[in-house]
């Protein structure tokens, strides 16, 4: 089972009025409000994806250059 980042979980678990539960823009705004933590999370996740990508490539392919 995949684990969810604690920052994302905190925003999703936050109690909201019923009509706000389905407001995607509000959820995205809350996630984007903590930009430093999210920037670090994004960088970490990008690196993880690059590492995974590099491990699944056949040896004839050069590693990704990012």
Greatest alpha-carbon pair distance for the chain in Å reads 54
Hey, what long-range contacts does 40-48 have (CB within 8 A, 24 or more apart)? Answer: 41/5, 41/7
- pTM, to two decimals: 0.38
User: pLDDT digit string (tens) for 45-62?
Assistant: 999 999 888 888 766 656
CA 43 to chain centre: 9
Predicted local distance difference test score (pLDDT) of residue 10: 78
Predicted local distance difference test score (pLDDT) of residue 14: 73
Predicted local distance difference test score (pLDDT) of residue 45: 92
């Amino acid at each position: 089972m995949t684990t969810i980042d604690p920052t994302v979980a905190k925003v999703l678990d936050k109690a909201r009025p019923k009509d706000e539960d389905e407001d995607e823009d509000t959820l995205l705004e809350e996630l984007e409000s903590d930009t430093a933590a999210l920037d670090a999370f994004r960088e970490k996740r990008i690196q993880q994806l690059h590492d995974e990508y590099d491990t699944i490539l056949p040896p004839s392919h050069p590693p990704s250059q990012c």
